[in-house]
């Protein structure tokens, strides 16, 4: 098992604040923490992209946003338009919620076509798909991740960390790593709240971690975690 320093873990973390009531003051704090601890990126809602982009300019910290979040059921054309808009606004990466109603209905062609449309609209920029493993059985996890990989996503992500998306587990991250097979990346999210949990998830195969508990993780003040 590889050992990590807090600084090395920080470089793997996308510091996240996507709550609906996050104020400009809250977002400014996220930016400041990203600069202080040199997190990989700041994950915010789309409306905050210009503000965050300006604050992080020249720092090397990425501007990340969530698209189609949290339900994923809007029209594909709306998602595609939002992809273009958020990248034009200054986003470096997106985490994208696919249409699980289609997937659960057996509409795999529609499910995959939408993912491919989002990837195409991104024009080579980083697209991470939120796979919401908490709603899926093992067979569905494998199938959804495989369809997403075939559609051209940059990263497979186990969960949005919201609602029924579920928490990251060593087993699920290892499964994604196997499916990714070195061809795409793996991002972990959900329930990662302390340094030991972050290290476990990284050793399971994650290359990025999405969490709102970033500062506590790297300072050793993290809460009890649900990672197993």
Please identify which of the residues 40, 55, 62, 95 carries the catalytic annotation.
95
Q: Torsion angle of alpha carbons 107, 173, 127, 146, nearest 10°? A: -30
E-strand spans in 136-190? 155-157, 185-189
Distances (CA, A) of 227 to 129, 171, 195, 209: 21, 10, 11, 13
Catalytic member of 55, 62, 79, 157: 157
The C-alpha angle with vertex 178 and arms to 193 and 175, in degrees rounded to 5, equals 45
Q: Distance (Å, rounded) from C-alpha 4 to C-alpha 101?
A: 39
Give the residue carrying structure tokens 């587990």.
169
62 included as an active-site residue: no
What span, in angstroms and rounded, lies between the C-alpha atoms of 226 and 159? Answer: 14
Q: Position of tokens 């975690």?
A: 225
Determine which one of 12, 62, 187, 200 is catalytic.
Answer: 187
Q: What is the DSSP letter of 41?
A: E
Active site residue 187: yes
Paired strand residues for 210: 14, 189
Closest Cα to residue 158, out of 148, 150, 149, 168? 168
Catalytic machinery residues: 95, 157, 187
């Amino acid at each position: 098992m590889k050992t990590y320093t807090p600084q090395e873990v920080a470089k793997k973390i996308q510091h996240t604040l996507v709550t609906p009531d996050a104020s400009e003051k809250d977002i400014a704090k996220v930016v400041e923490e990203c600069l202080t601890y040199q997190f990989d990126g700041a994950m915010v809602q789309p409306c905050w992209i210009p503000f965050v982009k300006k604050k992080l300019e020249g720092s090397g910290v990425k501007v990340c946003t969530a698209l189609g979040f949290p339900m994923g059921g809007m029209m594909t054309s709306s998602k595609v338009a939002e992809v273009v808009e958020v990248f034009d606004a200054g986003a470096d990466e997106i985490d994208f919620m696919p249409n699980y109603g289609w997937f659960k209905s057996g509409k795999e062609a529609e499910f995959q076509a939408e993912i491919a449309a989002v990837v195409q609209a991104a024009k080579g920029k980083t697209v991470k798909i939120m796979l919401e493993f908490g709603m899926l059985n093992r067979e569905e996890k494998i199938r959804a991740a495989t369809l997403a990989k075939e559609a051209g996503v940059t990263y497979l992500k186990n969960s949005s960390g919201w609602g029924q998306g579920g928490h990251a587990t060593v087993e699920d991250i290892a499964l994604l790593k196997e499916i990714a097979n070195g061809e795409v990346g793996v991002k972990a999210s959900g329930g990662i709240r302390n340094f030991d949990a972050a290290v476990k998830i990284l050793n399971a195969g994650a290359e990025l971690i999405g969490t709102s508990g970033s500062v506590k993780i790297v300072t050793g003040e993290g809460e009890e975690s649900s990672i197993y």
